[in-house]
Amino acid sequence: MQLYEYIHDYDISQADLALKCGLSQASLSRYAQGKAIPDVINGYRIEIATNGLVACADWINMPKFVLKRRGTYHKTTKKALARIAEQKKAEERRKKEDRDIYLRDTKYAAQGLLTITRNG
């Protein structure tokens, strides 16, 4: 979900959301309009304030001309956001692997080939 969608869908003012994020209303307005892209720290603040609905990695989907407008600063931000997106993909892969292992172990346990014990 994009920031402007969140503001519209949840009927929250930019000033209220900016206060929740610890940003100025002007900065949040520029982010929502796509005139600027937040650095990773501010992107993360927005992610926390929106309960993860506007993820920091969503800023990767911003138009290319916005990313190029400020030179190396945004190149660095783009790399950081790409790294965050890759970390999320890796986390999803680990969860899938864990789920597959659990299903395999459950299948073996049902066949009597494996005993599952719980610590606790």
Residue boundaries of the structural domains of the chain:
3-110
Side chain identity, residue 63: P
pLDDT of 63: 52
Segment 35-53, tens digit of pLDDT: 888 888 888 899 999 998 9
What pLDDT shows up at residue 61?
57
Quote the CA–CA distance of 62 and 37 in Å, as a whole number: 8
The model's pTM is 0.52
In the predicted model, is pLDDT for residue 73 greater than 60? Answer: no
Report d(CA 33, CA 36) in Å as an integer: 8
In contact, 21 and 49? CB cutoff 8 Å:
yes
